[in-house]
Chains A and B, each alone.
Chain A
Amino acid sequence: GEDVEQSLFLSVREGDSSVINCTYTDSSSTYLYWYKQEPGAGLQLLTYIFSNMDMKQDQRLTVLLNKKDKHLSLRIADTQTGDSAIYFCAERNAGNNRKLIWGLGTSLAVNP
């Protein structure tokens, strides 16, 4: 079945770059999303990438998609303490576009 996997924890120092990785199994994925959940809050869409793209950049965020390896990554440049949160990867496929398949979330800790 469809599956999305992420490592559960990542710890970086303030000012360093963070790279959060995600792998998925569904080759018919159309959109892939990164959501951010700050403590005590709901999830917010951070960025997304369409499956025919291999890179998307938005200020400090860079999303890389390797469709052949079904690998998605989120790079946060100059990581700040305010970036500490849980980052969820999710994919939406063409066949069941009303349902997102979610990863378990990567908890990012930024140390001063």
Chain B
Amino acid sequence: DTAVSQTPKYLVTQMGNDKSIKCEQNLGHDTMYWYKQDSKKFLKIMFSYNNKELIINETVPNRFSPKSPDKAHLNLHINSLELGDSAVYFCASSLTGGGLDSPLHFGNGTRLTVT
């Protein structure tokens, strides 16, 4: 009964490959996010979806494409993987609308290693 679950936990792949990371939340939240955490632990938002609509799209290469089939799922597809894509990718969700107090709930991360 994990609140925000992402798969896989570890992903090792070669440069040039295409891979996907999946995320699901069972909290009934309407906003989901993808964050990238680099080797220095710096956290950067990549995308945010609210009710399947893209609302935040930071400066991310076009090789990264999020897809939200419904408000409980937000997947991340990465084309033509590069060495610099190696990082831990976190999915998160939150409530929006209503009050401003809507903390994020994070998944446990997917450690992507590109060789």
List A residues at the B interface (Cβ < 8 Å).
Answer: 30-31, 33, 35, 37, 40-45, 48, 50, 86, 88, 92, 94, 97-100, 102, 104-105, 107
Contacts and interface: CB of A to CB of B under 8 A. Distances in A.
B103 A45 contact: yes
A50 B44 CA distance: 23
Q: Majority SS of interface residues in chain A?
A: strand
Contacts of B41: 37, 86, 104-105, 107
A32 B71 CA distance: 26
Contacts of B55: 98
A30 B100 CA distance: 8
Contacts, number: 58
Interface residues of B, number: 25
B78 interface: no
A37 B43 CA distance: 11
B106 A105 contact: no
Contact of A100 (B40, B50, B104): B104
B48 interface: yes
